[in-house]
Amino acid sequence: MMLETIFLENEELLVHSFRSQDMDHFEKLTQDIFSILSDEWTLKYIPEKRLHNLQQAELLLQTAILNYHSRQNYLHFITHKASNKVIGMIDVITPELARKHYHMDYYPFFIEFYLSSAASGCYIMTEILPKLMEELLRQGISKIGAVINRENIAARRVLEKANFEFKAPFDVIQDFYQNNHQLEKVCCSNEHTTTYTTCPKSNS
């Protein structure tokens, strides 16, 4: 299944996939990705995602672009308009790709999300994720899962705000959550505006 392009915007933020104009800023985008995935705060519960150099960040971006067009996963960037800086990412992973990494009885779509420490405490992901879920639901994707470290209270609250429910332990340190799409249809059907609250530090 090929996702339609998802684009969310308000006065301060853009949520977007890799765009043609991003080719002109490929190096800067690579640096922003490296900044996020080498951030100690971001990696506290996902140390396995650490990038050690810009070459790894460039490879991640190149792979994400290829995977987007081959319908494996759909990486989206959260860009702060004023600084033109990527401060977070949301990855939508297809069941086909999930099968290569997870061992489960069934495979929904999955989401993974990352946010820079510069944007912590601003409720950005809490605001964005329900809107993204609404868009995925509109496109016919009704079952979406997420795997999080069970000690990551902030991530759990983000999922719960987006109508995800705990389903089962995933392994010894992580839990599996899945969206309650029936609740999403009720809560999101009348939403037409986006009201993100942002406060990324200008020097980060």
**pLDDT digit string (tens) for the chain, length 204 residues:** 688 999 999 889 999 999 999 999 999 999 999 999 999 999 999 999 999 999 999 999 999 999 999 999 999 999 999 999 999 999 999 999 999 988 888 899 999 999 999 998 889 999 999 999 999 999 999 999 999 999 999 999 999 999 999 999 999 999 999 998 654 443 333 333 344 444 665 443
Give phi and psi for 142, each to the nearest 5: -100, -20
Alpha-carbon distance 176 to 166, whole Å?
6
pTM: 0.86
- Give the H/E segment covering residue 155: helix 153-161
pLDDT at 104: 86
The pair of structure tokens assigned to 63 is 């792979």
The predicted structure's pLDDT at residue 200: 65
The span from the CA of 155 to the CA of 73, in Å, is 21
